[in-house]
Amino acid sequence: MSPAHKAPSLRHRLEYLLLQALALPLLLLPYRLALSFAWLVAAFMFHVLRFRRRETLRRIQSVFGSGITPQRARQIAWTSLRNMTFNAVEMVRIRKFSRAAIERRIFDYDATLQKLKAALGHPDRGAGGLIGIPHMGNWDLAGSACHLGGLPIFSVAARQRNPLTNSLINRLRSGHGMEILERGSGTMRQVVHRLREGYLFAILPDTRSRQRDLAIPFLGGTANLARGMASFARTANVPIIPVIMLRIGWTKFRVLVHEPVFPDSALDKTTDLQRMTLLVLSQIDLAIHQHPEQWFWYNKRWVLDPLD
C-alpha cells in the first residue's frame, strides 16, 4: 500500500476528530459571534501563551527599525494574529458565503472582477493568468470570490501528513468549487495545461524557498524566493496579476488589482524570471509597509532568514 493510500493511524483519526470538534462551533455560531470567539482565542494566544510573540516583534522591528515604536509593533503583531484566527473562522464557514454575501463583504466586488478580467485580455496570449496574492486579508476567501464571480480558478497545496486532515483542509479551501491540486511530480504540467485553457492560478509568492533560488529585494533585506510563479507565467505565456486583499474592520474586505506583469520572450529566461518576480514583490512590499498589520508575520519560515 503506497503512503498516499495508507490507512489512517489512530493518531491521525484523533487529530481529525479534534479538528472537526474545533470547527463545529465556528460553523454553527452566527458569523460575528464566531469571530468574537476567535478574538478570545487570539487574545489568549497573544497575551497568555505569548504565541511566537518575541520572534514576531523581532521581525517587525527588523523591517521598520527606529521608525516604529514598541507599542505600534505590538499592535501590528496582535492584529496580524487576530486576523489569522478570523481567517480560520471564514475558512470553516466559506461554503455558507453565497455570492450575495460575498458582494456585501467585498467593496466594489463587480468592479474588481472586471479589473481582473481586463488584466487577462491580450490578443497574443492565452486567456489564463496567475494571481500573485500575499498573506494579507483572507487569501482563501479571495479564491471563492473569483469562482463565484465566474472566473475559473485553482491553486496548489502541499499534501498534509495526515490524510484525513489533508482531505478536510483541501475541501474547505476549495470553497465553492476552486480546484486544489496537490503538489507532486506532475503538478507543473497540470498547471501549465490549465493556464493555457484559460484558468486563473492563485499563488502565494511571499514565502521563503527551501532551496536556493531567486534573490529578491524585499522588506529591506534579500529574500530567497521560488521562481515557480514566474516560470509558470513564462511557460504558459500568461500574465501575473499582483492582487492585494485588505480586511476592513472585522467583516469587510477591499481588493486592489495592480497592473499585470507579462513575460518578455526577448529576455533570457533567468533575467525574465527575476524581473517578473521583482515587479510582483515590489507591490507586495509596498502594501506591507502601508498596511503592516494586514500581513501574516507568524509564518514558521521567516522570509528573510538565510538558507541553512
130/124: higher pLDDT: 130
CA dist., res. 253 & res. 250, Å (int): 9
Residues in Cβ contact with 80 at an 8 Å cutoff, skipping those fewer than 6 apart: 56, 293, 294, 295, 296, 297, 298
pLDDT of residue 89: 94
Q: Which whole-number Å values give the CA distances from 224 to 74, 145, 212, 235, 298, in the listed order?
A: 27, 30, 6, 21, 18
Is residue 123 very low, low, confident or very high in pLDDT (cuts 50, 70, 90)?
A: very low
DSSP 265: T
Per-residue model confidence as pLDDT tens digits over 32-60: 999 999 999 999 999 999 999 999 999 99
Distance of CA 253 to the CA centre of its chain: 15
| Cell of residue 242, nine digits | 499582483
Per-residue model confidence as pLDDT tens digits over 5-42: 567 888 878 877 777 777 888 888 999 999 999 999 99
The CB density around residue 17, as the number of other CB atoms within 10 Å, is 11
Per-residue model confidence as pLDDT tens digits over 208-238: 998 999 999 999 999 999 999 999 999 999 9
Phi, psi values for residue 60, rounded to 5°:
-60, -45
Phi, psi values for residue 208, rounded to 5°:
-70, 135
Residues in Cβ contact with 10 at an 8 Å cutoff, skipping those fewer than 6 apart: none
**Res 64 pLDDT > 80:** yes
CA dist., res. 267 & res. 265, Å (int): 5
Distance of CA 232 to the CA centre of its chain: 17
